[in-house]
Amino acid sequence: MKSTITVDVYLNEEKIPEQINWSAGGSTAEDQQQAKAMMLAFWDGADKSALRIDLWTKEMMVDEMADFYYQTLMGMADSFDRSTHSHALVNKMKQFAKDFYKEFRETQLKENDLK
């Protein structure tokens, strides 16, 4: 069995992403879906290194980016839990994500008060 995930990135003349579309065959998202940002990581077992692609469009707002990172960190913690059952480390990862998000929100409030 094979499943295909397709990502189309449309760039402007400066090679900055204008639009990101994706689809996944055999899933509920078979039709093209639009996204403002994406993160993709592969593990190279031979080199023991992560290969990553992080892209976002100019429409991605800073508060959306913080939400995206918070949700990604929490998702990574859940995945790590399922694969390792290292509950203590998972709790630390989730606490970091919560602290990160809280500090972002506090910083945003302070910046908005200065305006």
Which amino acid, residue 65?
M
- Examine the domain organization and report whether 32 and 75 are in the same domain: no
Q: Give the CA angle between residues 80, 78, 69 to the nearest 5°.
A: 100
E-strand stretches of the chain: 5-11, 17-24, 33-35, 37-44, 49-56
Residues in contact with 60: Cβ distance below 8 Å, sequence separation at least 6, in sequence order: 36, 37, 68
Mean pLDDT computed over 50-79 = 97
- Examine the domain organization and report whether 78 and 40 are in the same domain: no
> Alpha-carbon distance 11 to 1, whole Å?
33
Identify the domain boundary among 42, 59, 76.
59
pLDDT category at 73 given cuts 50, 70, 90 is very high
Q: Which domain holds residue 1?
A: 1-59
pLDDT exceeds 80 at position 113: no
Identify the domain boundary among 59, 89, 105.
59
- Examine the domain organization and report whether 2 and 52 are in the same domain: yes
